[in-house]
Structure 1
Amino acid sequence: MLSTVKLKNRGFLFWERSRNGFTLVEILVACAIIVALAVGAILIGSTLLDQGRHNKAQTDVSSISAATKQYKFEMGSYPATLSALTTKSGSYGPWLDSDTITDPWGTAYKFSIDDTNRRFGVWSCGKNKTDETGSYSGSFAGDDIGIGGF
C-alpha cells in the first residue's frame, strides 16, 4: 500500500504546506520597516534638539539682559564685557553663572552697547555660529537670537 502526501489546492499555483520560519522576503520587509522608522526618529529627534537649543538661547539671552540691567542699577554703568557679570564686585554680584555666557552651540554670547541711544543688545550667533548682527543697532540679522534693553 502506497501512502501519499495530501496537498490541498488553495488556488492557482498555491499549495498549503507547513512552514517553519520566515522567508527571505519577509525578513527584508521587516528590516526595511525598521530602518524607515529609525530614519524618521533621527530626523524628528534632530529637529527637536535644534528647537531646544534655540529655546535655551532665548532664555539665556533674557537672563543676561536682566543681569545687565541689575548690574547697571547696582554699579551705575553697563558692564564692559559679559564676563564682568560673572564676578563679584564689592558687595554686589555675581549676576550670572560663568556657563550662562556661552550659547548652546558653544560660542560666547555677543554684547554691544549703543551709547548714543543708551541701549544694549545681547545675542547668540545661532546655529551657523556666524555673527550676522555685528554691532547692535536695534535689530538682529540672520539667525542671530537676541534681545535689546535700556
Structure 2
Amino acid sequence: MRNTIMKTRNPRNLRPLPRTAGFTLMEMIAVIVLLGIVITIVGGGMMNTFGGGKWKAGTIQVKKLAGAVEQYQMAVGSYPNSLEDLTKREGLGPYAKDTDLKDPFGHPFAYKKPGDAGRDFDIVFLGKDGKPGGDSTDKDYGSWE
C-alpha cells in the first residue's frame, strides 16, 4: 500500500489575498470629517467677504446718490429737501428709484442739507448696523469721502 502524504501549503509562501476595491468605514468617516472642517473654514471666510462686499456696494451707492442730488440741483435750481425728492418728477426727474434710497443692508441713507463744514449737502451710509460710528462693516461712509 502506498503511503500518501498529504501536502500542506507552507505559510511562508502564502500571498495575501488581493484587496477588493472600495473604502473602509473609517476611511469614509475621516474624509467626511476633513471635508466638514474645510467647508467650515472656507465658509466662514466667505461670509466675511460677502459682508464686506455689501459695505463696498453701499459706498458706491452713496456716490451714485450724490450724483443724482447734483443733477437735481442743476435741473431744479436748488438741492432737494430730502432724498425722497429724487424719486419725484421734478425737472427732468425722477433722478433715483425708491430702492436706491436704501443701503444694501436695508437701512435708509442719512441726508442733511446743508451739510457740515460748508458742504451743500451730506449723504451718509451708516454701515451694517444702521447706527453712527462703528468699525469694519459697521463703519460709516459719507459723500464727501
Question: TM-score normalized by structure 1?
Answer: 0.75
RMSD: 2.5
Once the two structures are superposed, what CA deviation does each residue of 1:39-69 show, in whole Å capped at 9, x if it has no partner? Answer: 1231232122112211211111001001111
CA contact (8 A) 1:119 1:148 kept: no
CA distance in 2, matches of 1:41, 1:112: 41
Aligned to 1:103: 103
1:36 deviation in Å?
1.8
Tell whether 2:116 aligns with 1:146: no
Matches of residues 1-150 of structure 1 in structure 2 within 5 Å?
A: 1=6, 4=9, 7-8=14-15, 16-20=16-20, 21-89=22-90, 91-114=91-114, 117-132=118-133, 143-148=139-144
CA distance in 2, matches of 1:88, 1:147: 24
How many residues are matched? 133
Computing the radius of gyration from Cα coordinates, the structure with the larger value is 2
1:37 deviation in Å?
2.0
CA distance in 2, matches of 1:52, 1:7: 64
Q: Which has the higher helix share?
A: 2
CA distance in 2, matches of 1:7, 1:44: 54
Q: Which has the higher strand share?
A: 1
SS at match of 2:121: strand
Question: TM-score normalized by structure 2?
Answer: 0.77
